[in-house]
């Protein structure tokens, strides 16, 4: 695993966007695995700017997202489909039909999960997967648990995740309790993984990724089994990792 320590959020976003640009420029048909949350917003801003400046072309690119809340549709401003449209897709030359986010309104969630994994396989797998990390070590919505799930599946969000994500909602009661998420096995099948973490609250979880121990209590520690992971952290997280 490679660790890159950057000065701040802005630099993290620039470095991450450069890495995505390199993948897209090498393969204009690449499959990008995308994430939601505060962490990748700056990266998406950089990609939008690059696209405006003709430095990156998304016309043949396909994207798959990690997760979606159950019960929220694309018109709901809290849904991850809405987030992706607003923060990236509406501002770049990507074809909407080439962007995939699990359907949180699917009547048959198990069927949707199965089809989502089939879709990813059909596309040929993910060339580069962007990940944030929860302060509890979750990646996508794979929460700490006694056992992790490999494929896309329905998951119960933990209290800490619901509390953390309530900042995007009017009240904590509005945060969905369940989500559809890509499983850890599917994430691990990505050819390359780029994990971004900034802010003190992420330091303990990130530190464990470099501990040599793998535990389902911190799903991100699984990434140690992958052969091409780059972790980009800001200086504060970097220091906390090194000093502990």
Burial class for 61, CB neighbours closer than 10 Å (0-12, 13-18, 19+): buried
Q: Is 67 a catalytic residue?
A: yes
> Which residue is listed with tokens 């794979």?
142
As a whole number of angstroms, the distance between CA 123 and CA 30 comes to: 9
Q: Tell me whether residue 60 or residue 201 sits nearer to ligand PGA (CB atom).
A: 201
Stretch of 1-9, 31-39, 75-83, 229-237 lying at the interface with ligand PGA (CB under 6 A)? 31-39
Residue nearest to ligand PGA (CB): 37
- Window contacting ligand PGA (CB under 6 A); options: 25-33, 36-44, 217-225, 231-239: 36-44
Instruction: Specify whether the CB–CB gap between 127 and 32 falls below 8 A.
Output: yes
**Annotation marks residue 108 as catalytic:** no
How far is it, in rounded angstroms, from Cα 10 to Cα 206?
Answer: 19
Q: Which of 46, 65, 67, 208 is catalytic?
A: 67
Query: Could you say whether residue 183 binds ligand PGA (CB under 6 A)?
Result: no
* Tally of CB atoms within 10 A around 97: 7
Instruction: Kindly indicate which of the ranges 44-52, 95-103, 130-138, 217-225 contains the residues binding ligand PGA, using the contact rule CB under 6 A.
Output: 130-138
Which of the residues 51, 65, 103, 136 is marked catalytic? Answer: 136
Residue placing its CB nearer to ligand PGA in the complex, 13 or 39: 39
Contact between 33 and 66 under an 8 Å Cβ cutoff? The reply is yes
Phi and psi, residue 130, nearest 5°: -90, 135
Angle between helix 41-52 and helix 9-26 axes, rounded to 10 deg: 50
String of contacts with ligand PGA for each residue 138-157, x by CB under 6 A: x-------------------
Instruction: Enumerate binding residues for ligand PGA (CB under 6 A).
Output: 37-39, 132-134, 138
Which amino acids are annotated catalytic? 67, 136, 138, 143
């Amino acid at each position: 695993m490679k660790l890159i320590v950057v000065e701040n959020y802005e630099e993290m976003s620039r470095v991450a966007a450069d890495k995505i640009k390199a993948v897209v420029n090498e393969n204009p048909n690449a499959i990008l695995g995308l994430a939601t949350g505060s962490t990748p917003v700056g990266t998406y801003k950089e990609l939008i700017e690059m696209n405006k400046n003709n430095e990156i072309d998304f016309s043949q690119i396909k994207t798959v997202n990690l997760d979606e809340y159950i019960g929220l549709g694309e018109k709901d401003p809290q849904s991850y489909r809405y987030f992706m449209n607003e923060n990236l897709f509406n501002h770049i030359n990507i074809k909407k039909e080439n962007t995939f986010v699990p359907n949180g309104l699917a009547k048959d969630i198990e069927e949707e999960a199965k089809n989502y994994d089939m879709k990813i396989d059909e596309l040929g797998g993910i060339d580069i997967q962007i990940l944030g990390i929860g302060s509890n070590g979750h990646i996508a919505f794979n929460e700490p648990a006694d056992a992790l799930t490999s494929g896309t599946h329905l998951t119960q969000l933990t209290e800490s995740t619901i509390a953390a994500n309530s900042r995007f909602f009017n009240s904590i009661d509005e945060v969905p309790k369940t989500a559809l998420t890509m499983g850890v096995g599917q994430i691990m099948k990505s050819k390359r993984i780029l994990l971004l973490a900034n802010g003190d609250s992420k330091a303990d979880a990130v530190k464990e990724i470099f501990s040599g121990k793998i535990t389902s209590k911190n799903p991100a520690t699984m990434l140690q089994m992958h052969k091409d992971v780059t972790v980009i952290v800001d200086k504060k997280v970097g220091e906390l990792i090194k000093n502990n």
